[in-house]
Amino acid sequence: MSNKLMGLIVVVIVALLLIFSSMFRVNQGNEAVILKLGELNQTRDGQVKVYTPGLHFKIPLIEQVKTYDMRLRTLTVDSSRVVTNEQKDVIIDAYLEWKINNISQFYRSVSGNDSRAELLLRQFLEASLRAEVGKIDIQGLINNERDQLMQTLTKSVQDQAKKIGIDVVDVRIKQIDLPETVTESIYQRMRSERQKVASSIRAQGEQMSESIRADADATVTITLAKADRDAKEIKAKADAKAAEIYIDAYGKSENFYNFWRSMQAYQASFSGKKEDVFILKPEGKFFSYFNSSNSPDSPVAVKAGVSQVK
pLDDT along the chain (310 residues), means of 10: 73 79 89 86 80 88 89 90 86 94 91 92 94 86 82 94 95 85 70 87 88 87 88 85 73 68 69 60 61 48 41
Q: Residue 302: what pLDDT?
A: 42
CA distance 296 to 32: 147
CA distance 30 to 288: 141
CA distance 297 to 106: 140
Domain 73-184 of CATH type 3.30.479.30: yes
Q: Residue 290: what pLDDT?
A: 60
CA distance 145 to 112: 37
Q: Phi, psi at residue 154, to the nearest 5°?
A: -60, -45
Q: Does the predicted TM-score (pTM) go above 0.75?
A: no
Question: Are the C-beta atoms of 97 and 73 separated by less than 8 Å?
Answer: yes
Q: Residue 285: what pLDDT?
A: 61
CA distance 221 to 236: 22
Going from N- to C-terminal start, the domains of the chain cover: 3-69, 73-184, 243-309
Question: Are the C-beta atoms of 92 and 173 separated by less than 8 Å?
Answer: yes
Which phi-psi region, left, alpha or beta, contains residue 219 (left: φ > 0; alpha: ψ -120 to 50)? Answer: alpha
Sequence-distant (≥ 6) Cβ neighbours of residue 266 within 8 angstroms: 306, 309
What is the tens place of the pLDDT at every residue in 67-105? 999 999 999 998 888 888 888 888 899 999 999 999 989
Please compute, for residue 239, the number of CA atoms within 13 A of its CA located in the half-sphere on the CB side: 6
Q: Residue 305: what pLDDT?
A: 40
